Amino acid sequence: MGLSKRFTSHPATVGETYGAHFKFAMKVAAALMKSGLACLAHAIYPPFFTETASRTIKNLSIEIEERSSASDASHVLVADSLAS
């Protein structure tokens, strides 16, 4: 597998370009790091950030599911157009 293919093969499986996949992955990473810091503060002093981690996880889960559904739908559209 060529170097270029190593960067683009997985994003293509979810219907994205490398750039779009990179941007989303960085957004998820930043949200998780921010949430992780909130968890550390919460561990030290429980009244701080009582819902931050669970809210972040729920929101990311919803966003990932929506992207997955959109990706699945786009694959069906592509398959349908190829079959015509």
What gap in Å lies between CA 41 and CA 76, rounded to an integer? 45
The predicted pLDDT at position 50 comes to 96
What gap in Å lies between CA 18 and CA 64, rounded to an integer? 17
- In terms of phi and psi (left: phi > 0; alpha: psi -120 to 50; beta: otherwise), the region of 15 is left
Block residue for tokens 């597998």: 1
Structure tokens that stand for 38 in this block: 């909130």
Q: Which positions ≥6 away from 44 have C-beta within 8 Å?
A: none
- pLDDT tens for 22-79 read 999 999 999 999 999 999 999 999 999 999 999 999 999 999 998 888 776 665 554 5
Residue 80 scores a pLDDT above 90: no
Domain count, the chain: 1
User: Which residue range is the domain that position 26 belongs to?
Assistant: 3-83
- pLDDT tens for 6-34 read 889 989 988 899 999 999 999 999 999 99
Q: What is the dihedral of CA 12, 16, 20, 22, to 10 degrees?
A: -30
